[in-house]
Amino acid sequence: MSDLLANFWILLALKLVAIGALVPVTALVIGYAELKISAHMQSRIGPYFAGGRWGWAQLIADGIKFFQKEDIIPEEADRQVFKWAPALVLLSTVALFVVIPFSPTLIVQDLDLGVFYVLAISSVSTIGVLMAGWSSANKYSLMGGLRAAGQLIAYELPLLLAVVGVIIQAGTMSLVGIVEAQASFEVFGTIAVPYVAVQFVGFLVFMTAALAELNRIPFDLPVAESELVMGFVTEYSGFRFLFFFLGEYANMFSMSAIASTLFLGGYHFPGLNAEIWGPVVLTVKILALAFLMIWFRWTFPRLREDQLQKFAWKWLIPVSLANIAVTGIFKVVM
């Protein structure tokens, strides 16, 4: 077994299969959670029949349905760009899974620049969104694409700046390194506390910006149903729509995973062996954050475009800059 794992190509193939399986599974789990939790928050039952019990197979059935559908491309559309856009969005989502550490060793590749890689790769999806919006030859799509781009540019900055505080504190950009730094980080006595205790401002800014990056309510203007039909996804159907859908929910998982790793201690929990319990601990933290995002969806109304931009440039960015300054001062003084 260890001989087999030592071969570079076999290990690479295994890792690719693992990620290829993980992305749809996480998307299904979070998508199903959204259906069910939303239903309960609105005193409905939600999916009920598919699969025999609790409607657990609802999204699998939906997925199969999408694959059977005709692949419709609008006549006026720019065909090549239209076809490549969903692939680019999904690609940037899948690439994020490479650096998520589920335990000290259960990680596809621990990069020295892990955090930086995450921020760089997640910015690529903006191009995919703009491509989708432009190539659809539809006014709603173009409006959605432009809104998405404006929003992603505005909220990428606070996302980056919020992470800088953590990097300063941990002294490393490797995600495993950041978790290990939190495992040995003690403020009040002997129990290690995650960075959220001292980087609370950073955590709030990061989660807000992550919500905006994911186009979720209250920042869902690019796909606002009541204004833009479905924004940049309007013209997509069949498996290309499925790509966007998978990307959206898998991205929710990966963003929550990054947030848990940076601020909530990742796979580490005091008293539990990270090699064995790491994946469970991280999954629990991820699902808790995903639940929070679903909860927000039914709590806050949608912002207006100018409010959204003002909030990013006049509040989030100054606050995260102040956070960096304070963190830097403490790092030097203490």
Partner 1 sequence: MSLSDWLSEPTNWVFLVVGLGVAGSAFRVVTSKNVVHAALYLVATLGGTAVLFLLLSAEFVAWVLVLVYIGAVIVLFLFGIMITRAPIGYDASLDNNRRGIAAVVSGALFLLMSWAAIDFFGSEPLQGIGEGTSTELLGESILGRFVFPFEIVSFVLLAALIGGITVARKDATPAESEEGV
Binding stretches for partner 1 (CB under 8 A): 78, 81, 111-113, 116-117, 119-121, 123-124, 126-127, 130-131, 133-134, 142, 145-146, 149-150, 152-153, 156, 173
CB of 117 to partner 1, least distance (A): 6
Smallest Cα–Cα separation from 101: which of 241, 328, 262? Answer: 262
Smallest Cα–Cα separation from 201: which of 172, 241, 158? Answer: 158
48-66 burial code (b ≥16 CB/10 A, e <16): eeeeeeebebbbeebbeeb
* Six-digit token string for 110: 């621990």
Smallest Cα–Cα separation from 165: which of 326, 333, 2? Answer: 326
CB of 74 to partner 1, least distance (A): 15
CB of 94 to partner 1, least distance (A): 15
| Identity of the residue, 80 or 105, whose beta carbon is nearer to partner 1 in the bound complex | 80
CB of 125 to partner 1, least distance (A): 9
| Identity of the residue, 114 or 266, whose beta carbon is nearer to partner 1 in the bound complex | 114
* Six-digit token string for 251: 């991205």
| Identity of the residue, 16 or 120, whose beta carbon is nearer to partner 1 in the bound complex | 120
Amino acid identity of residue 35, one-letter, is L
CB of 183 to partner 1, least distance (A): 22
| Identity of the residue, 39 or 137, whose beta carbon is nearer to partner 1 in the bound complex | 137
- Residue 107, judged by CB atoms within 10 A of its CB (0-12, 13-18, 19+), counts as buried
CB of 59 to partner 1, least distance (A): 31
| Identity of the residue, 12 or 276, whose beta carbon is nearer to partner 1 in the bound complex | 12
| Identity of the residue, 146 or 193, whose beta carbon is nearer to partner 1 in the bound complex | 146
139-169 burial code (b ≥16 CB/10 A, e <16): ebbbbbbbbbbbbbebbbbbbbbbbbbbbbb
